[in-house]
Amino acid sequence: MPFIDEYTSRFEELACQANYLAGNPETHQLFLYGLPRNILEEVMKGGAPPTYQDLKQQAVDAVQSRQTIDNIIRWRDRIPHNPFPNSSQPCPFYSGPNRYDNQRRQNYPQQ
C-alpha cells in the first residue's frame, strides 16, 4: 500500500502547511481530487464519508481491495485453463473412492 500511505502522508503535510482543517469540506474535496479514478469510485460508493478519518480509511480499504483483486487476477491468469490436458474424460471434483464424505463416514461409527 505504498501509494496510499505516501499520498495521505504528503496530503496531510501540505494541508497542515496551508492551515487547512481536517473537518473542512474543502479539505475533503482536495483529498478526493488526488485519488485515482478507480479508488475514488470505490470511496464514494454510498456517498461521501462524514469525517476525514473515515474518508482516509475508505481510501486505504479501497486500495487494499484493489491490490487483492489484482493479485487474484494475476495468479488466475498464470494457471493453465485446463490443468489436466491429458485426461480423456472430465473428472467431477466430488466423485470417486477418495471422496471426503466417504472418508468421513469411515471415521465415525454409524448411528
Every domain of the chain and the residues it spans:
2-78
Can you give 15-78 as a three-state secondary structure string? HHHCCCCCCCHHHHHHHHHCCCHHHHHHHHCCCCCCCHHHHHHHHHHHHHHHHHHHHHHHHHHH
For residue 60, how many other CB atoms are within 10 A of its CB?
17
Q: What is the pTM of this model?
A: 0.65
pLDDT digits (tens, 9 = 90+) for 52-97: 999 999 999 999 999 999 888 888 777 766 655 665 555 566 555 6
CA distance 60 to 42: 10
